[in-house]
Amino acid sequence: MRFKIDARGGPGATTGTFEVFHGNGTTNEVLGDFEGDITCLMTAGEVAIATGVITKGHVNLPGVDRDVTGKKVSFTVHDDGRHDRMYWMWEFAGAPINNCVGMAPGFVPSHGDFKVRD
C-alpha cells in the first residue's frame, strides 16, 4: 500500500488531500486506487487523525470492481521519528467513519516518514 496525505488546519478549518494505492505485488493486480479531500484534522502532540471523502477512485474487492466516490476514510498517524506508525479505515469496507475519529496507529510502514506538527 502507498499513502500520500497532506493536511493542514484543525477541526472546522481543514484543507488537504490524500491518495491511496493498493496493489497485489504477486499478481500486479490493482486492489484499490483512490484519492480525495481531507475534511477534518486533529493533532495531539505526535499523533494526527485525518478524515476525508473520496472524490475519485475504485476498489477491486473479491469479484467486485466498484466506484468508491463519496465514501469516507480515516487515517491515524504517529510521528515517532524513525519508528512511525499508522492505521486506516474505509467506509466502503464497513468501518463507521466520523469526522476526526480514528483508531490506534498499530501498523509500521515499510518506508517513508510522517511529519506531525501540533
> Which pLDDT score, from 0 to 100, does residue 74 have?
97
pTM: 0.89
Q: Could you report the average pLDDT of every consecutive run of 10 residues in the chain (118 residues)?
A: 91 92 84 95 94 96 81 95 90 91 89 80
Written as one string, the DSSP assignment of 38-103 is EEEEEEETTEEEEEEEEEEEEEEETTEEEE-TT-EEEEEEE--TTS-EEEEEEGGGT----TT---
